[in-house]
Amino acid sequence: MTIFEGMASGFFQSTSLAVFPYLFAGSIFGLMIGVIPGLSGHFAMAMAVTFLYTMEPAAGIAFILAAHATVAQGGGLTAILFSTPGTGQNAATLLDGPPMRDKGEAGIAVGAAMASCFLGATFGAIVLALLIPVLREVVLFFGPPEVFVLAFLALTFVAVLGKEDMTRSLIAALLGMLLAMVGVDNVTNTFRFTMGSERLADGLQLVPVILGLFAVAEMIDLWVRGGTLAKDVPTALSAKETQKQIFKGIGLAFKNWWLVMRCSAIGTGMGLIPGLGSAPAAFVAYGHAKQSSPDRDTFGKGNVKGVIGPEAANDAVEGGALASTLAFGIPGSSSMAILLSGLFILGLETGPRMLNQNVDIVFVMIFTIIFGNLLGTIIGMFLVNPLSRATSIRASVMVPVLLSVIATGAFAGERAIFDIGIAIVFGILGYAMKVLNYSRAALLIGFVLGFAVEKNLYLALLLDGPLFIMQPIPLGLMTVTIVFLGWNIYTIYRDRKRVIPK
C-alpha cells in the first residue's frame, strides 16, 4: 500500500459510518474528561481502553484517540473559565486565560483557545504524516544527552516567563526540581524526602500538585477576596454576546496564524522528544509568544496571544508523541503506552510493519486527531455559554462546589485520599506564592522537567562520560541555551537602567 492509497483509505475509513460514530463518542468523552479537573488524557485512555475488546480496529482507534485528542480542549475551557486547569498541559493557559475572563472577554479567550487547539492538532497531524518516510531516523535523533540539554533549554524559558522577577522565578523553578526528587530514586533505590511515608515513595503525582498550585490556590484567593470568579464582570454575559465573542476569538486565532504555526511547531517538536511531555511544550510556546510579541507588557494581563500560543502547542504535541509509538512500537509517554496496548488488543502491529503494511491505520489516527479536535471545538462552543454563567456566581456558593470537584479530581487518578491532602498542601503553597509574587508556572515546569533532567543526565553520564556535552548536537543546543539566557539577563539590566533614570 503506498502512502497515498493509505491516506485515501484512512480518510474514507475514518469518515465511514462504521467508524465515525465512535470518533464522535470518543471526542465527547474526552471533552468531558478534560472539563473535569484532575482527569487527564492518560485517564481518558485508560478508561476507554477497556471498551476495545469488542471493537473493530479502525473504530477502536478512532474511539481511544479521539478521547485522548479532545482532553486538552476541555481542559482549556475550565482553565479559562474557572482558573482550574483540567489537565497539566493547560497550566500555561492560566497565565492569560483567567485575566481575559476578568476583563469580560471569556468568550474571546475560549474561542481563540478552541480554534488554536484545532489548528495545532491539525499541524501536528500533518507533520506526522509528512514524517512517515523518515520517522525512524527522526525519533532516534534524540538520545539521553540531547534530551537532557533540551530539557535544560526548556527550563531556561522559566527566565522569560517571570522576566519581571527572574530571581524569584529561578527560586520557584529550583524548588520545583527539588519536589520532583521526592520518592524512591529509580537508579539507586534511595528513599528521598519521603519522611517515612510509604505514599510518598512513589513520588508526588502531577495531577494533585497542579490542582493544588492553581485550582485550590485560586479557590482560597476567591474565598478571601469574596465576590465572583470573574472579577470585574458583575453580571454574566448574555448568550448572544458570548456567541459573538467566541467567533471573534476564533477569528483572532486565524488572524495570528503565523504565531499558531510557530507554536504548533514547538509543540510537535517537543512531542517528538521522548519523555518531555506536553506541559513543558505549552510553557515554552507561551514563552515564545511573549518573547516575539511587540506588546509583551500586556502578557499575563489578558493578552489573547498568551492563550493562542500554549493551546496550539499542547494539541500539536499529539502528532509528535505518536511518532515514536508508531515508528518502533515504543511509547514515549504513559498515554502512548496505553494506546500501544490498545493497538495490541485490537490485534494491530506497530513499528515498521505498521508503516509498511497498515499505513491506512496510521492515517486513520491522523484523521482522528484532526476530526476529533474539530468536533471538540464545535461541541465546546456550546458548552461555553452555560459554563461561563457559573463564573458570575458568588464565591460562597462557587467555592464549595468547585472544591468538591477538585477533591474528586485529585482522588480519581490514583484513588488515594492522600492525594487530596497533597492538593491541599500545594493549594496553600500556591496561594502563598501568588500573594508573594513567585511564579507558580516556574515551579510547575521545574517539577515536570525535573524527572527528565535527572534521568537523562544520569544516563548520558553513564553512557558517554562527562564529556557528553561536547558532542556536536548537545553542544549546539547548550550554546543556544546560554545565548538565550545571556540575552535575557542583558535585556533585564538594559530595561532596568532605562527605568531608573525616570
Partner 1 sequence: MRRTFFKSATAAVVAITTLGFGTTVAAQDAAEFYKDNVIKWIVPYDPGGGYDEYSRIIIPYFEKYSGARVDIVNLPGSGGMKGAVEIFNSPADGLTVGIINGSAMVTNQLAEIEGATYKVGDYNYLGRMVADKRVMVASKISGITSFEDLMNNGTTEIVGATGLGGSTYVDAVITGEVLAIDQRVVHGFDRSGDIRTAMLRGDVQTMWGSLGSALSGIEDGDLKIILHGEKVATGMLEGIPSIYDIAMTMDDGEKRVKILESWEALSAVGRPVAAPPGIPEERLAFVREAFAQAMNDPEFVASSLESDRELSFATGEDMSRIAKSATELEPDVTELFVKAIRGEI
Does residue 383 contact residue 35 with C-beta atoms inside 8 Å? yes
The three cell numbers locating residue 480: 543556544
Query: Which burial class, exposed, middle or buried, applies to 221 when counting CB atoms under 10 A from its CB (0-12, 13-18, 19+)?
Result: middle
Q: Strands, E, within 7-156: which ranges?
A: none
| Residue 422 binds to partner 1 (criterion: CB under 8 A) | no
Q: Which of residues 208-247 bind partner 1 (CB under 8 A)?
A: none
Minimum Å distance from CB 356 to partner 1?
A: 10
Cβ proximity to partner 1, 395 vs 457, nearer residue: 457
- Figure out which of the listed residues 159, 322, 338, 375 binds partner 1, where binding follows CB under 8 A: 338
Cβ proximity to partner 1, 174 vs 340, nearer residue: 340
Binding mask 142-181 for partner 1 (x = CB under 8 A): -xx-------------------------------------
Cβ proximity to partner 1, 224 vs 462, nearer residue: 462
User: Given its phi and psi angles, is residue 227 left (phi above 0), alpha (psi -120 to 50 degrees) or beta?
Assistant: left
| Residue 134 binds to partner 1 (criterion: CB under 8 A) | no
Q: Candidates 122-130, 277-285, 287-295, 336-344 — which segment interacts with partner 1 by CB under 8 A?
A: 336-344
| Residue 46 binds to partner 1 (criterion: CB under 8 A) | yes
Rounded to 5 degrees, φ, ψ at 83 are 55, 25
Q: Candidates 331-339, 368-376, 387-395, 494-502 — which segment interacts with partner 1 by CB under 8 A?
A: 331-339
| Residue 138 binds to partner 1 (criterion: CB under 8 A) | no
- Figure out which of the listed residues 25, 174, 261, 330 binds partner 1, where binding follows CB under 8 A: 330
Q: Which amino acid is at 425?
A: V
- Figure out which of the listed residues 59, 139, 265, 423 binds partner 1, where binding follows CB under 8 A: 139
Q: Candidates 44-52, 305-313, 433-441, 484-492 — which segment interacts with partner 1 by CB under 8 A?
A: 44-52
Q: What is the sign, positive or negative, of the torsion defined by CA atoms of 26, 32, 35, 36?
A: negative
Q: Which residues of 222-258 are buried (b: 16+ CB within 10 A; e: fewer)?
A: beeeeebbbbebeebbeeeebbebbebbbebbeebee
Rounded to 5 degrees, φ, ψ at 94 are -65, -20
| Residue 271 binds to partner 1 (criterion: CB under 8 A) | no
Minimum Å distance from CB 57 to partner 1?
A: 13
CA–CA separation, 185 and 202 (whole Å): 9
- Figure out which of the listed residues 74, 331, 446, 474 binds partner 1, where binding follows CB under 8 A: 331
Cβ proximity to partner 1, 195 vs 499, nearer residue: 195
CA–CA separation, 57 and 18 (whole Å): 11
Does residue 256 contact residue 276 with C-beta atoms inside 8 Å? no
Minimum Å distance from CB 376 to partner 1?
A: 23
| Residue 328 binds to partner 1 (criterion: CB under 8 A) | yes
Q: Which of 6, 9, 266 is nearest to 133 (CA)?
A: 6
Minimum Å distance from CB 350 to partner 1?
A: 7
Q: What is the sign, positive or negative, of the torsion defined by CA atoms of 181, 182, 185, 191?
A: positive
Q: Which of residues 175-214 bind partner 1 (CB under 8 A)?
A: 184, 186-189, 191, 198, 201-202
CA–CA separation, 329 and 322 (whole Å): 10
Question: How, if at all, do strands 191-192 and 183-184 pair?
Answer: antiparallel
Q: Which of 89, 111, 97 is nearest to 301 (CA)?
A: 97
Q: Which of 256, 35, 11, 32 is nearest to 264 (CA)?
A: 256
- Figure out which of the listed residues 240, 415, 496, 497 binds partner 1, where binding follows CB under 8 A: 415
Q: Please, what is the Cα angle at 483 between 480 and 485, to 5 degrees?
A: 105
- Figure out which of the listed residues 99, 104, 300, 342 binds partner 1, where binding follows CB under 8 A: 342
| Residue 351 binds to partner 1 (criterion: CB under 8 A) | yes
- Figure out which of the listed residues 3, 8, 25, 47 binds partner 1, where binding follows CB under 8 A: 47
Minimum Å distance from CB 353 to partner 1?
A: 7
Helix (H, G, I), strand (E, B) or coil at 183: strand
Q: Candidates 10-18, 303-311, 346-354, 369-377 — which segment interacts with partner 1 by CB under 8 A?
A: 346-354
CA-only gyration radius of the chain, Å: 22
| Residue 49 binds to partner 1 (criterion: CB under 8 A) | yes
Minimum Å distance from CB 383 to partner 1?
A: 27
DSSP state of 222: H
Binding residues for partner 1, rule CB under 8 A, total 48
Does residue 235 contact residue 412 with C-beta atoms inside 8 Å? no
Minimum Å distance from CB 357 to partner 1?
A: 12
Does residue 281 contact residue 317 with C-beta atoms inside 8 Å? yes
Cβ proximity to partner 1, 53 vs 258, nearer residue: 53
Q: Which of 182, 213, 109, 206 is nearest to 439 (CA)?
A: 213
- Figure out which of the listed residues 243, 292, 293, 334 binds partner 1, where binding follows CB under 8 A: 334
Please report, as ranges, the residues that interact with partner 1 according to CB under 8 A: 45-47, 49-50, 53, 136, 139-140, 143-144, 184, 186-189, 191, 198, 201-202, 274-275, 324, 328-331, 334, 337-338, 340-342, 344-345, 347, 349-353, 414-415, 455, 458-459, 462-463
